[in-house]
């Protein structure tokens, strides 16, 4: 989880403004030594993150900062045996599926392919019998 923390810290630092030289931080950490942990940090310039995890390698958390454009960015996430799952309005999303494709998929689902039925083999009779 240290890698996730470092990535979030790099993101936060890369988005920092020049006037952030005088920002102050508050930080808290907990670790029971059995895989359960939690940490949180907040900087007076609007950068912050928190994360908690358990002994089963399930993690959830969030980070936030202010973009160069002055927009607040917040991402929450979970990470478990199924991978990393970020959520946030600032994350890119795929374009909508075109209507023609949706209609084609509906048609395919409504009209499944029918497998040809096999014809029973008839015994062949030799000629001349």
DSSP string, 13-41: HHT--GGGGG--EEEEEEE-SSS-EEEEE
pLDDT, tens only, 30-87: 999 898 999 999 988 889 999 999 999 999 999 999 999 999 999 999 999 999 999 9
Provide the mean pLDDT of the chain.
84
Structure tokens at 47: 């950068």
The CA distance from 24 to 43, in Å, is 5
Q: Give the pTM.
A: 0.57
Domain ranges of the chain: 2-110
């Amino acid at each position: 989880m240290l890698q996730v923390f470092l990535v979030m810290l790099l993101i936060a630092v890369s988005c920092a403004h020049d006037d952030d030289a005088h920002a102050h931080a508050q930080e808290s950490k907990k670790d029971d030594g059995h895989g359960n942990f939690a940490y949180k940090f907040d900087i007076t310039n609007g950068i912050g993150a928190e994360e908690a995890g358990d002994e089963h390698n399930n993690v959830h958390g969030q980070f936030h900062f202010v973009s160069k454009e002055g927009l607040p960015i917040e991402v929450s996430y979970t990470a478990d045996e199924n991978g990393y799952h970020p959520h946030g309005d600032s994350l890119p999303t795929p374009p909508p599926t075109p209507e023609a494709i949706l209609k084609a998929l509906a048609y395919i689902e409504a009209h499944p392919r029918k497998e040809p039925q096999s014809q029973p083999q008839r015994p062949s009779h030799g000629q001349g019998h």
